[in-house]
Structures are given as C-alpha cells and as structure tokens.
Amino acid sequence: MTNKATQTDAALTVEELAARIKYHPESVRRAIRQGRIHALPFGAGWRIPAQEVARILTTGLPYHSARGKAMA
C-alpha cells in the first residue's frame, strides 16, 4: 500500500491551522482574505495546502498592512 495523498487530503481546514498556530479561526480567515495565507476554496470554506502550513510553522504568520504606512 502506498501513502499518496492528494493536495486536498494534505491540506488543513481553517480550524485545524488555527489550532496548530494558536490563533482564532477568524484571524486565519482574515489573513486568507488579505492574501497573507495561501488557501484554496473548498466548498463553503478554505483548505490550506501542506506546503503553506509548513511555511507558516517555519517562518510564522506574515504581517503587512497598508494602514500602518504614513500618508504622503
């Protein structure tokens, strides 16, 4: 028996990722909407690919916001 997983099988739900990184699920959804987390639409929710989960676990959740920039 081989251990091949499809991209969807290897992906985490928002709730699973939130539990792993100790964030509220809505914070994860917000980061997805802002483009800080790469996720794939899946039904009514999202799936975060294993490669993206590994990146987040290694480097942390990226932060960037246009609100913090000074206006010229």
Nearest to 20 by CA among 68, 54, 66: 54
Domains detected in the chain: 7-59 (1.10.1660)
Contact 61, 31 (CB under 8 A): yes
> Residue 35 has what pLDDT?
93
> Residue 67 has what pLDDT?
45
pLDDT of residue 8 exceeding 60, the answer is: no
**64 pLDDT band (50/70/90 cuts)?**
low
**4 pLDDT band (50/70/90 cuts)?**
very low
> Residue 66 has what pLDDT?
47
> Residue 60 has what pLDDT?
87
